[in-house]
Structure 1
């Protein structure tokens, strides 16, 4: 019977960070697919519909599906953890222009009802990128 490997405190903190990131993505994805769906449509920039040939609702649904899939991948694909982390980081970068658009236009969405909240989210977005990469590196 193989001995269980001991994890360092840093590995434990990283695992908690990774689990928290998965939970955040799962809740965000669920909100895009259910209770927040209508609210998120109003903040999708018009240029996104032209660039993707999808309507605003389809973009909201697609982003929710991607968030749920990334959350699941963080949990069920431990051997692919680093790749998944980079995919999560890339997703956060990909949605950033939409967040900038929402802040510039002042359009409200679930949990983003003030200019201050929208601006703080812009500042937090790079931290999400770092969180995704940091929490998925190593063992």
Structure 2
């Protein structure tokens, strides 16, 4: 009986901890894939020798951006009914701005312009931060 009293809290903690992994939405999975490519690109965006690798990473970011822009953020459910349309419109506008900057980054990398690629990547970083502030739950 004493053993059961000791094990029960441990099992509860483990169960609650694992349940958070099961809650990933399709959008969170897309964003996670985007973030993986984004982090890899951050390390190599200024390296002209990695042009082909960078273009592949940018293609991955483009794909996940396109897919994610068609989804609704998890926080949409928290919005009042009257404000949902405006909230989704704002989300779509920010995703469109992000997609446009990804295309600018792709053009800079394709042209071999590392200064423009770095500047574009920095803009993407700012857009990413703004988007997470506006649409991501903590």
Q: So what's the TM-score if we normalise by structure 2? A: 0.43
Larger radius of gyration: 2
Q: Which one has more relative contact order, counting CA pairs under 8 Å at least 6 apart?
A: 1
Q: Which has the higher helix share?
A: 2
